[in-house]
Amino acid sequence: MTKKKADMEENLWRKAGLTDSEYELLTKHMGRAPNVVELALYAQMWSEHCGYTHTRPLFKHFLTTGPRIVQGPGENAGIVDIDDDEVITFKLESHNHPSAIAPFQGAATGVGGIIRDILAMGAYPIASLNSLHFGHPGAKGHTRWLISEVIHGIGEYGNCVGVPTVGGEVRFSNAYKGNPLVNAMCVGFMKKSEIKKAIATGVGNSLMIVGNLTGRDGMGGASFASKDLEDENDEDRGAIQVGDPFMEKLLIEACLEVFAEDYVVGVQDMGAAGILSSSVETASKAGNGVEIDVALVPKREEKMRPEEVMISESQERMLLIVKKGMEEKVNKIFHKWDLHAVVIGQVTDDGFYRVLEDGKTVGEVPVWSLMDAPTYVLEGKEPAHLAETLKFKNEDVEIPKDLNDVLLKLLASPDICSKTWVYRQYDHRVQMNTVVKPGSDAAIVRIKGRDKAIGITMDSNGRYCYLNPKRGAMSIVAESARNQVVSGAEPIAITDGLNFGNPEKPDVYFQLEQTIIGLSEACRALNTPVIGGNASLYNQTPEFGSIYPTPIIGMTGLVKSLAHVTTMEFKAAGDFIVLVGETKDELGASEYLDRIHGLVTGDVPELDLELEADTQKYILETIRSGWIKSAHDVGDGGLAVSLAESCIQGKLGAVVTLDTDLRSDSLLFGESQTRFLLSVAEENLDQVINEAASRGIEAAVIGRATQEPIITIHNNGLKLVDVSLDDCSNAFNNAFDLLMKADA
């Protein structure tokens, strides 16, 4: 081999994102050097996005089975049993890098992709959520444009495709200034008998591509999502997919009609790495091979090279494994919906992944080798900042003199304030099953025609995981489960989105490993197995560095009767306010320290997982007993903020009297875990308090809801807070609108 040729080949594999050792390994698998097509296959399938090279070894920590788990990790989405021979399927996916470069299309296609994951399980998509993280927006700045475009993209796609966007979260920190996070979740419903799998069984069965045409949009998207995000350039823009929600709606209806017949043995969404990943994964699960002729793939661009056709991430496409002889029947159904359904290959028995062009082989590699991406177990190192942040003591900050002002500032904080500005761009009513709309602790979506519903939440806290990765991750799972139980839902299972920086850096790998261990411990304690998820690494930029370690938890729960649905707002003046759980002298990692003192420091509040599980069980059982009129978890901003939220939503005031020796800011704004705020009618008060006592759970009457629109909080005879409901409502309800005004 000439030096010039060797240099060219070296540049090719490195440009494709493969390391020298990975290139050496794939040549060993093949017994020769790969050609350009084969190199592209390995580069995509061995990328972090497809191969989970740094995260897969850590997944061993997760609990993945349970009494309600029908399908755990390994399919397009997990499936859980909700009784009556009915199941729901759900999944979370990231679209961070595309959304940083082209926010509208990046966010829109993220929604479209996760909907197709649900469709690929055989389910009808019934709800969508999203978790968004941005830098703090400045006046007429780039971040504000990102926020507007991302939310517009989500709303445009979800509204057009007819899947309600029922909840989620929007969080802000300059840790995300250069690299926003856009994670989308979807939930689908079906009967157990309707479940589909991504498997290419039956030698001679046809591979059919259905839906949209294949173009050059999304080229190399999987490898693009597996590297550091550099400054925007034209090459990166080529990795951004373009969505068509109207096409997706047709695809949903056509696929479900085909699934109702006995034509299809396997189905897979074409997401990252397009035709390649969808066909490799289905062949691998069946232990078979496949061959695909790129000349047969319907294209919208001319002179596409074979590797371009294979890795294109054009949207609104699915791969069906169709029984031999049923191809024309499938085509007829799709033609009725004005969609194509074309045979592009077949299942083989030789275990090879074979790419043809006009019948001529242009690439041939073992299927198993594409699925056997090398994994990396590294040695993590505790981040240097923890040595300093863990030294924090409450005495390091002064207690503000005006606590009314502190409460109003926290209610107006971008992380806490009402996100109505966001929600009003989403159609949450389509399909007519949304029982509790966006803005509550959990979205509640009824199962049509049944006296039951599902709770759906998405939760995260990057600041917590930055300051204590393991405990922070545990707290996010606990918070998500709290949001379920206060809404009347029994937590069932989670899907996770692991958003981190470059895992090759020891401090980031430490965060990744400790976070996964924390998630695992909390899921085991709360009996919420992990049934799937997504890893998005390399989220960092040269200018702003790495994002906070940000695991995002998507959780579902079962509401056994619509009568159990509970919301956060106080319902009637005179009702007693009960605080469940202990308030400790903890200010570390709080929104209060961040917003009021400009400090991201301290340790994450303590969390006793056994007590958490017992307390959540108590809350859910008292709700099901009909004793509770409202329930709200105490989270960001602490007790005072949670109290104000229940007052604002219920348009009622409150008088609260406490008796503690805690610092006033710890008492009001500390974020001690495992706490709940309940409102209870007088006739049920004794049952609520006595039941808690019988279980060894701390519960105390701290006040009453009032008709007078004032929120008053006393401690040891001193009035700490005395603020009007109007002032609280204005701060909470108007802050985000002001934030997004062009002249702010």
Annotated catalytic residue within 49, 54, 133, 564: 49
Residue 615 lies in a domain: yes
Q: Residue 97 above 60 pLDDT?
A: yes
Q: How far apart are CA 729 and CA 644, in angstroms?
A: 9
Q: Residue 717 above 70 pLDDT?
A: yes
Q: How far apart are CA 117 and CA 120, in angstroms?
A: 5
Distant-in-sequence, close-in-space partners of 717: CB < 8 Å, separation ≥ 6: none
Average pLDDT over residues 185-197: 97
Task: Confirm if 101 and 237 have CB atoms less than 8 A apart.
Answer: yes
φ and ψ at residue 584, rounded to 5 degrees = -110, 170
Among the ranges given (21-30, 200-209, 324-333), the one the predictor scored with the smallest mean pLDDT: 21-30
Pick 546 or 178 by higher pLDDT: 546
Instruction: For CA atoms 476, 478, 481, 485, give the dihedral sign.
Output: negative
Average pLDDT over residues 719-744: 91
Q: Residue 689 above 90 pLDDT?
A: yes
Residue 345 lies in a domain: no
**How many domains is the chain built from?**
2
Distant-in-sequence, close-in-space partners of 312: CB < 8 Å, separation ≥ 6: 214, 215, 216, 217, 218, 219, 274, 275, 304
Q: List pLDDT tens digits, range 362-401.
A: 999 999 999 999 999 999 999 999 999 999 999 999 999 9
Distant-in-sequence, close-in-space partners of 574: CB < 8 Å, separation ≥ 6: 682, 704, 705, 706
End-to-end CA distance of the chain: 63
Q: List pLDDT tens digits, range 9-33.
A: 556 777 778 899 999 999 999 999 9
User: Which DSSP symbol is given to 642?
Assistant: H
Q: Among 48, 65, 85, which residue terminates a domain?
A: 48
Identity at 677, one-letter amino acid code: L
Residue 538 lies in a domain: no
Q: Among 32, 48, 64, which residue terminates a domain?
A: 48
Distant-in-sequence, close-in-space partners of 32: CB < 8 Å, separation ≥ 6: none
Residue 724 lies in a domain: yes
Residue 191 lies in a domain: no
| CATH number, domain containing residue 657 | 3.90.650.10
Q: How far apart are CA 744 and CA 737, in angstroms?
A: 10
Q: List pLDDT tens digits, range 296-320.
A: 999 999 999 999 999 999 999 999 9
Q: Residue 124 above 70 pLDDT?
A: yes
Q: List pLDDT tens digits, range 23-70.
A: 999 999 999 999 999 999 999 999 998 999 999 999 999 999 999 999
The confidence band for 235, taking pLDDT boundaries of 50, 70 and 90, is very low
Distant-in-sequence, close-in-space partners of 396: CB < 8 Å, separation ≥ 6: none
Q: How far apart are CA 716 and CA 312, in angstroms?
A: 66
Q: How far apart are CA 442 and CA 481, in angstroms?
A: 10
Residue 8 lies in a domain: yes
Task: Produce one character per residue of 241-277: b if its CB has 16 or more CB atoms within 10 Å, e if not.
Answer: bbbbbebbbbbbbbbeebbeeebbbbbbbbbbbbbbb
Per the annotation, the verdict on 49 as an active-site residue is yes
Average pLDDT over residues 607-625: 98
Q: How far apart are CA 128 and CA 427, in angstroms?
A: 10
Q: Where are the alpha helices (DSSP H) in 92-141?
A: 96-101, 103-119
Annotated catalytic residue within 54, 61, 95, 385: 95
Q: List pLDDT tens digits, range 139-181.
A: 668 899 999 999 999 999 999 999 999 999 999 999 999 899 9
Q: Which of 478, 452, 461 is nearest to 616 (CA)?
A: 478
* Two tokens, residue 648: 């604002």
Task: Confirm if 195 and 87 have CB atoms less than 8 A apart.
Answer: yes
Read off the pTM.
0.95
* Two tokens, residue 111: 């929604």
User: Which DSSP symbol is given to 73?
Assistant: B
Residue 609 lies in a domain: yes
CB atoms within 10 A of CB 707: 10
Grouping H, G, I as helix, E, B as strand and the rest as coil, residue 533 is: strand
Residue 99 lies in a domain: no
Angle at CA 134, nearest 5°, toward 130 and 140?
120
Identity at 55, one-letter amino acid code: T
- Domain limits for position 656: 567-744
Q: With the CA atoms of 254, 258, 259 and 263 taken in that order, what torsion angle do they form, in degrees rounded to the nearest 10?
A: -160
